[in-house]
Homo-oligomer: A and B are copies of this chain.
Amino acid sequence: MAANTFHKLRDEIENGIVTGAFEPGARLDEAQLAARFGVSRTPIREALMQLSAIGLVEVRPRRGAIVVDPGPDRIFEMFEVMAELESMAGALAARRHTEQDKAAILDSHARCERSAASEDSDSYYYDNEVFHYAIYAASHSGFLAEQCAALHRRLRPYRRLQLRVRNRMKVSLSEHAAIVEAILAGDAETARSRLRSHVAVQGDRFSDLVSSLSQRQSTGTGGQPR
């Protein structure tokens, strides 16, 4: 991949936000970031501009950039849209998947099973990501795949929190199995509805999400400043 300074900086900062190194609401001081990465302010600004276009940071004119802090309601909305896009990808995948796609889906699913068996939450988290990307790819819609991937990245921190919830890993895995079955059977509508409920944050999971968010708020130094 093309590797200019601002490009790398963009990924670094995005990663910092997504992993929580830069907490929601935190100020992103240009000079400070420049010093930290050993570059001038120019590429830092360019990186921040890109992140603001994506919606990860908010640049307030003359008042600096901050990491956006989507409230629980907005995070819920994002999951809602994610569910719709993913279920669309699943439906398309059911109709369009090739032998290669099938192999990739089965392989990533098998990895998930192994990680779940060894109860390795971090490993499962990664394999789960690969599984979902395999479905995006199988949709054979480049644009949809990109949109899904972008949203998936943005929701990363919240999904990670969710996986901590009791038994979620096992439940997730059995849902995966049902999704795989529907896709490989070519049953678009079943794949759609199963993926929708797999991704959506419904019922108990919403309160789990909210509580994990408020937990983080209180421990972190971020949140609403001033």
Contacts and interface: CB of A to CB of B under 8 A. Distances in A.
A218 interface: no
A144 B74 CA distance: 10
A17 interface: no
A85 B81 contact: yes
A54 B147 CA distance: 11
Interface string A52-90: 111100001110000000000010011011001100100
A66 to B, nearest CB: 14
Contacts of A45: 46
Given A50-B49, A88-B81, A61 B4 contact: yes
Contacts of A16: none
A123 interface: no
Contacts of A6: 49
B46 A78 contact: no
A25 B28 CA distance: 35
Interface string A20-53: 0000000000000000000000100110011111
B77 A143 contact: yes
Interface string A149-190: 000000000000000000000000000000000000000000
Counting chain B CB atoms within 10 Å of each CB, which of A55, A74, A81, A146 scores highest?
Answer: A81
Interface of A: 2-4, 6-7, 42, 45-46, 49-55, 60-62, 74, 77-78, 80-81, 84-85, 88, 141-144, 146-147
